[in-house]
Every structure is written in structure tokens, then in C-alpha cells.
Amino acid sequence: MADAEPAQRIVTARSAGLVGCAECGRVHRRDVEVCTVCGSLLRSRDGSSLQKVWAWLIAGMIVYIPANIYPMLRTSTLGHTSESTIIGGVLELVEFGSYGVAFIVFFASVVIPISKFIAIAYLAYRVHTGKRGRARHLHLYEVVEFIGRWSMIDVFVVAILSALVQLNFVATINPGIAAVSFALSVAFTMISANSFDPRLIWDTREGKLA
Amino acid sequence: MSDPIAAEMKVTPPKKSFWRNLSFVWLVPLLALFVSLGIAWQNYADRGTLVTISFANASGIIAGETTLRYREVVIGQVEQLRFTSDLGRVLVSVRVDNEVVPFMDQESAFWVVRPEVSARGISGLSTVLSGVYIEGAWDNVVGEPLTNFVGSDTPPLVQPGRPGRRITLATDDGTTISSGSPVLFRGVEVGRVETPRLSRDGRTVLFDAFVEAPHDARLSEATRFWDTSGFELSFGTAGFEVDFDSIASLLSGGIEFDNIYDGGEEIGPGYVFTLYEDEDEARRNRLVQGVARGVPFSIRFDESVAGLEAGDDVSYQGLDVGVVTALRSRVVDTEFGPQVSLFADVSIDPQRMGLPQETTPEETVEFFRFAVTTGMRARLATESLLSSDLRIELVVLDDAATAFLTEPEDGNPVLPSVESNLSDFTATAEGVLERINALPIEEVMQQAISLMDSIEVLARNEDLQRVPGSTVALIDDARALVGSEALQSVPDQIAAATTDLQQLIADVREGGAVDALNRALASLDEAMVGINAASQNAPALTENLTKLTSEDIPAVLAELQAVAATAQALDLDGLVNSATQTLNRIDALVANEAVQNIPAGVEAAIADVRQVVADVREEGAVEVLGSALRNLDRAMADISIASQDAPALTQNLREITETDIPQLLSELEAVATTAKELELQTLVDSATGTLTRVDALIGSNETMDLPGTLNDALTEMRLALAELRAGGVVENLNATLQSASDAAGSVAASVEDLPQLTARLERLVAETEVVVSSYGARSDFNTQTLSALREVQNAAKSISDLARAIERSPNSLIFGR
């Protein structure tokens, strides 16, 4: 018998009427509103967290589209202006032969955001459908949450270039719309990941919805 | 028995209302969606219109980069480059801002701005770095928008929408005009010339020019265009002159225009202006105006009209009043049969003749009809003195044959013409030069030259050169003589003598020996009377001599010189011989010691007198004086005897000076006068006669004895005085001294003249000696003078002939005899 019901029911804190602070971990009784250690709100389960997750995720996806369509950088060298989108820039870098940079840009600007979208969507879906969660989902969640901020590296590059390369006629780099859009996209997904309550995974694990 | 079990209570969570659970967070994606869509929509809506411009080639145009600019503002961007279906042109798709699209209408011009270096300047340099761009130009009137345009490679010379007018010019030679040449009006650029093109038949070069407003209002039928390109180089009295309008016209050519008369008519759309070579030609060409406004006439010429051509002026009293429109010949029936006559058709502008503005052609003809009756005729005249271009001038001749304005039915009214007096300047000038050539100038010059040679030889003659020297020497001698101590001391001596005498008289008066003196003085009186008489003659003598020396003899000398100057060579040998003889005698006379001793004698005499008086004084005794006076008495008697001769002597001298010598001189004058009349033989004869007489005079004993007689007289005086001195008689001194003082007074008076007399005598003698010696002693002086005179006479004859000829007819200098 695979995956038989455990012999003993594990008593969850929730069912024990206890709630732990999400920030500091201090356990409180259920009716306590505010954590006595860190002062953050004590919430056993957030009912609307999934909506938030989905909302922010969709917003991030929406905003990610112009980030790819519109040019990321506007470069003017000696009066010669050229604009490049993310993927266009990657392709140009590959043409130039800078494979490393191209890979980094591609990975940071394309792979990670899209994987984040997929990951968070997957997790939200699983929670939503009440499928049983596993440990790997939790790991996935943690990875997503950790790596989310590193997508901002692309925006950081654009910002640095725009700030430094202002050599008037010889070379000028200006950010395009895509930079703003991409930053928003990254921010939205970060919020989305942040609003995802991983305890929901446990709930589903236990087959119970919160 | 069991308790009832409560049923399992189904506790179900309450159904969440969908809407109640919907959190506000969903606004975020919605917002994001809307914003994104909005931005996308705005981008799409603002994109602008796609406009297609076709170019011959797309050099430098890059899709996605090349911009379209209007007035240097980017209004669009090239998106795509395609070909036309036949690959003939490149279609450039440009996305243009929507604000500008409505203005792009039919008259828009598009061109590619590239760096361009031309004579007009360098333009478009910024495109070197930034790449070419397309520039468009259109007017600022919203017209019918188009989306397909044709672009060109070069900017249009005229910006569409600039106010102005486009005209067409024609010229034969388009080398100096190029596209972009400026059109100038009084030096100000008012337009541009576009690219020249050939006319259909290839004979004319046509090009369009654009004249900007407001200057295009000046264009009318009266406008003439001329070429001002290049430069004009002239070399005149002021040096080099380079004249060009501007650097632009220098390099790319230029056209200038001006209205040559006022009130030209409007030009129609297809009007073609002619481009003339230069300003003068343009201004001269008033054919159009003449024909338009002028009244046609014809003029018949019976002479050659070579040099007259259509376009030449018709002038009236110097003012251009018309223009020749055509020259033709016609067969005219005359009384000699059919003859070919030349007709010149002219067009005369009534306004330029002074008729009022609204004069009809009939009135103009009426005016000319009247003018012809008052003598107006047409005549050919040269344009300028040296050219052979002709023009017709209308002149009013008082003496013209009667003629009328003939008006045939089938032609213009015919103005009568007269013969022209075309002066052929070249022929006249030639004639003048021929006349000048014919003058015998060379002969005259040769004779003048030989005359000058003779004069030179004459002047170089040593004797002639010695004359001034001799004259100077003579003057010096005379001066020396006058200044000689002897003569100068004479007055002193006389003064001293007078003083001594006065003292002596005083002593004698004291002495009281009067009677003896009286007796002595009586005889002294006689003597003195004699001397007085002599001395009375002496002033006259001196006067005569003065007259002789100051007037007559110099006159005679002048005459003699004149004679010598005008005598021609003939037999003068006899003259020369007798002259030589005379001169020898004069020489002897002059050389006579007696003459030379005269002043010495006088001096000595005066010295003796002084000595006597001194002795008398020294002795201091009246007795001595008395004896002296007795002796003096005796001496005086002798002197009186001697002096009785003196008057005769002086009388003789006087006679000689009064009569003989003047006679001689007058004879010489006569000779000279005769000589002047070029009667040579008689001249020689009379000269010879004169010389003989002179010879006789000089050779006469009296003259020869003259110095001897004078000398004797002086010697006797000296002896007497010596005796007086030796004797020492003083008794009759008072009276004697009284008379002596009188005598001394008259002696002084006469002696006063003596120095002058002697001086003049010396001078006379020296002059005569010099002149006569120079004349007679060297005969080659004679021959040279004579040959010179011969030459002079020949030259004078030629010159007088010439002068006479000119005098008779001055025109002969130009027209010949």
C-alpha cells in the first residue's frame, strides 16, 4: 500500500488552535491578533491570498508583453540611432560573438521571468485544485521567491548604461519603454510570489483547504 | 436501550460569494492591462501616414534610420525600401507625422540632402556624420494630399511656395550659364537660373529662371537680359582693370536684366526672353519696342548702304528716335528706266520725336509731311568717327531741293533722302600726311644745319674770341690809365699848385711889387690870350672829339661791322690792301712816342709849375719874384708866340674834328648804307676811296706833326718855366700871379678835360687798332665771314621762300600748291 494514511494523525498547530508568526515564528494562540515579538499580523490562513497571487501574476504577465515588444535601449552613436528589444539585443549580442553576455541576458531577462510565471501559476493551480502538495513544491516556491529579485539585473544594466553613457553626440543610451515595463513585470511577480502563502501547500498536503 | 445519537452535523463552510471574496487586488492586472493597451493603441494611432517617395537610387537611405525632415525638423522616418515593378526606381516608404501630411500636395518636392560642394558653397556637411536625410519642401497651403511622390536627387532651385515668377530665356551659347547662376538686378540677386536644356531643334539653349517677388513685377516686354558672367579685363591709361559682378557670377555665371524703356507690356506665359552677350547689345536692341510703338516709314537711298543693318538707330539731332527694321531693294521706274533702289524701312517712335502720347500714326505722318516741306531729310551718317557702322540721321537742311513725303498705296510713306557727307577719315588723314611729306623740310633743315656750322666756325674763330678779350684789356688799360697815379695825382698836384700859388700871391701882395708884375702880366696876358683862344677851342675840340668818340666813331664802327656782316664775297682785295695801308699809318701814329708821351708831358709840366711855385715860395723874396716875373714876361712872350700857333693848331684840330672826320665818318656811313644795299662793287670802291682819304688824312703832315707840335709846345713851356725857376724873379709877381691864377684857372679848366680827352683818345686809338687789326691783319677772318654770310644768305633765301609760300596760301601746308 503506497502512501497509506499515516497511523497517527499529526496534530497541526492550526488544529491545535495555535498560530505561528510568519515573520518571527513565535507561536501564539489563535485568538491573538498581533505578534508579541515582531508586531506583525498574525494570520493563520489568508483566504484571499490566491486571488492576490493570481492577480499579481496576471498583471506581471500583461506587463511583460510590452517589455518584449518595445525597445529596451535606444543607442545613438555618432548620430546613428538604434533601438533594441530584449530578444533583439540578445540576438545582436550573439551576432557580435558575446555569447556569455548574451546567455546571461537571455537567462535573466527571458528564462527566469517566464519560469517564474509558470512556477507560480503551477503552484497556485495546485493549491487551487487542492491537489496534494509535496516537498518539492515547497522547494520550488522557495526557489521562485529567492530568485525573483535577480531578474532586476537587466533593469539595473539599463539604468547603469543610461546613466553612464551620456556622451552627447558620440554615444548616448536612453532607456526605452521596455525597461519600465520589465521592471514592473518583475515587481509584480515578486509581489505575486510574496503573497503566496506556502502553508497552503501544507494544507493541500493534508488534503484540507484552509 | 440506547440514547438517541445525534446525527452527524454536516458542517460546511459558508459558500463564499464570488463577488464578496473578490479582493481589490484584481484591479492591478486590470490596470496593467488597460495601461498597456492604451499605450499600444496610442502608439499605433500616432504612427503617422505612410507616404511613398520614389527616387532614382537610394544611396545613403537606410530603412528605419533615415529621416524625413521639413525645415530641418524631423517629421518622418523611412521604414521600407522597395523597387518599382520594373526596377526603375526605388520606392521609399516614409512614415510622416500626421500634422504635416495635409500640406504635402502636388507641388511638393523631395530630395536627398547629401554633402555638396559647389560654386555656390558647401552645404549639407552635417550629413557626413549623421547620414543623409530626405528633405521635403511644400507650400504652406493645405492642398489635396497625395501619398505618392517623385523625389529628385538635387534640391529644386526654387522652393515651392516662394512667390515669384518663372520665365524662360533663350540663348545661342549656354557655356557661361549653369544651373544655379544668379539673376541680378542692379547687382542684387533676385533670382536663380535653373538647368539649361536644349531646344527641340538643338539650335537654342533654353533655360528657366526664377525671379523672386517683388522683383518679378518689373518683368515686362521692355526687359532685356544679358550675360554678366566672367570678368572683363581692360588695360587702359589707368592700368589694368578687372571688372566682375560677384564671385558667384564669376564662377557660375550670372544674368542681369533691366528695363530699357518704360511702359513695357505684360509678358504672356510662353514668352521667351533672349539672353544677350552684354549690356550694350541688350540696350541697343530695341527692335521690339520700335516695332511695337513706332510708325513705319521708308527711306530710299541712292548710295551704298554698306554698314547699315536692321537694328541701327535713326537719330534726329543726336537723339535716337527710331530704329531700322529692314533693308530691302526694289525696282523703281525712273526716267532712265527701271533701276534698283535701296529702301530702308524704319520705325520712328513719335514720343521720342516729341509728339504727345496719344498721337495716332496718321498724325505722325502728317507731322512728317510738314517737316519734309521745311527741309527735313534723311541721310546716312557714321556711328562714330572711326567706325564704319552707319546710322540714319534726320537733318533739317535749309538748302535742300524741294521734296515731299511720298505716300504710295502699297507701302510706308517714303521720306526723302540726301547725299551723305561721309567723310572718310582715313583718306583725309592720308592726304594730310602726304602733304606734310611733300614739304621741302629736309632742304631747309640742311641749309639751317650748314648755316649753324658756319656760325659755329665763325664763333670759334680765334680773333673773334679775342675781341672780347681785347675789349676787356682796353677797358682795363683805360681804367689803369685813369686810375694811374699820374692822372689821379694830377688834380692833387693842381690843387697843391693852386694852394702854393695862392700863398705866393699873398706874399707878393705883401711885397707890393705890382708894376713889374703888371708888365709881366701884360705879356702874360697876351700869352694867355693866345692860350685862352687855344683853350677856348679846346672845349670845342674836346666836344667834337667827345662827339666823335661817343657817337660818330662807334656808329661808324657799327656801320663798318654791319658792312662786314652783310658784304658778300667779291673782290675786296684792293679794299683790304688800302685798309692795310691805313692801318699801318695808324699804327705808326699810335706807336709814335710823342702820343704816348703826352700824358707824361702834361704831368711833367704840372710838376714843373709846382716846383716853380715852391721855389718861389721858398725863396720868399719878392725880388726874386720880380726877376722871375721879368723872365716870365719874356717866357710868356715866347709862349704867346708859340701859343699863337696853338689856336691855329687847335683850330686845325677843330676843323679836322668838325669837318674832316665827320665828313669821313659820314662817308663811311654812306659806304655802309650803300653796302647794305648789297652793291658790292661800289661798296668796295667807296670803301677804297674812303680808305684813301683816311690814309691821306693820317698821312698829312699836320696830323703827323700834331703830337710833335704838342710836344714842342710843352717843351717850350717847360724851358720857360725852367728859366723862370733859374732866374728867380719875383717883382711883378702879384699881377703875374693874378693873371697866373686866371691862367691857372683856365689851364685847370682845360686840363680838366685833358685826362678825359687823353683817355678817349687812347680808347679811340685802341678800339680802332683792335677793330682794324682784327679786320685787316688776318684775311681768313674775312673769308670765313664771307662764306658764312653766303650760307646765311642762301638759308635766308630758302626760309624766305618758304615763308612767302606759306604767307601766300596757308592752306598749301595741307592741300599743296
Measured in angstroms, the CA of A1 and the nearest CA of chain B are apart by 30
Give B138→chain A minimum CA distance, Å. Answer: 27
Instruction: Please check whether residue B273 is in contact with residue B225, taking contact to mean a CB–CB distance below 8 angstroms.
Output: yes
Provide, as residue numbers in chain A, all residues whose Cβ is less than 8 Å from the Cβ of B36.
62-63, 65-66, 181
* Share of residues in chain A with pLDDT > 90 (%): 18
Looking at the partner chain, which of A47, A59, A79 has a beta carbon nearest the beta carbon of B129?
Answer: A79
DSSP H/E element including B49:
strand B49-55
Amino acid in position B576: V
DSSP state of B730: B
Rounded to a whole number, what is the distance in Å from the CA of B28 to chain A's nearest CA? 6
Instruction: For B139-160, give one letter per residue: b (16+ CB within 10 A) or e.
Output: beeeeeeeeebebeeebebbeb
Chain B residue with Cα closest to A180: B36
Name the nearest CA neighbour of B346 among B406, B396, B413: B413
pLDDT along chain B (817 residues), means of 10: 73 72 81 89 86 88 86 88 90 88 84 79 78 85 82 77 81 76 84 81 81 83 80 71 67 78 74 79 62 73 77 82 82 78 83 76 85 86 73 82 76 82 67 83 88 87 74 79 67 75 73 57 62 58 56 55 46 51 57 53 61 56 49 52 52 58 61 50 58 64 59 70 57 55 60 63 71 58 78 83 78 68
* Residue B644 identity: Q
CA distance A61 to chain B (A): 9
Give residue B717's region: left, alpha or beta (phi > 0; psi -120 to 50).
alpha
| Residue pair B312/B323 in contact by the 8 Å Cβ criterion | yes
For residue B47, the chain A residues in CB contact (below 8 A) are none
Chain B contact set for A177 (CB, 8 A): 39
Q: Which of A64, A77, A78, A81 to mutate to test the interface with B (most CBs of B within 10 A)?
A: A81
ipTM confidence:
0.82
pLDDT at A115: 92
Helix axes B593-619, B733-772, angle to 10 degrees: 160
| pLDDT of res. B197 | 82
Distance CA B192, CA B189 (A): 8
Q: What residues in A contact B129, CB-CB < 8 Å?
A: 78-79, 169
Cα separation, B811 vs B388, whole angstroms = 29
Q: Is the pLDDT of residue A103 over 80?
A: yes
* Residue type (1 letter), B125: L
Chain B residue with Cα closest to A210: B13
The per-residue pLDDT for A57 is: 92
User: pLDDT averaged over chain A?
Assistant: 83
Write down the pLDDT at residue A210: 42
Annotate B204-236 with DSSP letters as a single string.
SEEEEEEEETTGGGG-STTEEEEE--S-EEEEE
Stated length of chain B: 817
Distance from CA of A52 to the nearest CA of B (A): 6
| Domains in chain A with CATH codes | 11-44 (no CATH), 46-209 (1.20.140)
The residue among A63, A120, A128 with the most chain B CBs within 10 A of its CB, best to mutate, is A63
Q: Which long-range contacts (CB under 8 A, 24 or more apart) does A142-148 make?
A: A142/A198, A143/A119, A144/A116, A144/A119, A144/A120, A144/A193, A145/A193, A145/A194, A145/A196, A147/A112, A147/A116, A148/A112, A148/A116, A148/A186, A148/A189, A148/A190, A148/A193
- Which residues from A are below 8 Å from B31, CB to CB? 59
Using CB atoms within 10 A of its CB, is residue A67 exposed (0-12), middle (13-18) or buried (19+)?
Answer: buried
The reported pLDDT for the residue numbered B265 is 74
**B83/chain A closest Cα distance in angstroms:** 25
pLDDT of residue B580: 55
Q: Which residues of B touch A47 (CB under 8 A)?
A: 16, 21
Of A55, A169, A177, the CB nearest to B28: A55
Q: Report the distance separating Cα A170 and Cα A181, nearest Å.
A: 28
Looking at the DSSP assignment, which residues form a beta bridge with residue B334?
Answer: B337
pTM: 0.43
Helix, strand, coil fractions of chain B, as percent rounded to 5? 55, 20, 25
Return left, alpha or beta for A130; rule: phi > 0 is left, psi -120 to 50 is alpha, else beta: left
Tell me the residues of chain B between 64 and 83 that have a Cβ less than 8 Å away from chain A: 65
Would you call A12 an interface residue with chain B, using a CB distance cutoff of 8 Å? Answer: no
C-alpha B505: how far from chain center = 86
| Secondary structure of residue B184 in the 3-state scheme | strand
- List chain A residues with CB under 8 Å of B29: 55-56, 58-59, 62
Neighboring chain B residues of A60 at a CB cutoff of 8 Å: 32
Q: Taken in order B277, B279, B280, B283, is the CA torsion positive or negative? A: positive
Task: List, as ranges, residues 15-54 from A with C-beta within 8 Å of B.
Answer: 47-48, 51-52
pLDDT above 80: residue A64:
yes
- Is B22 close to A51, i.e. CB distance below 8 A? yes
B154 CA: distance to closest CA in chain A (Å): 23
Greatest mean pLDDT among A57-61, A95-99, B690-694: A57-61
Nearest-CB residue to B131 (from A79, A177, A188): A79
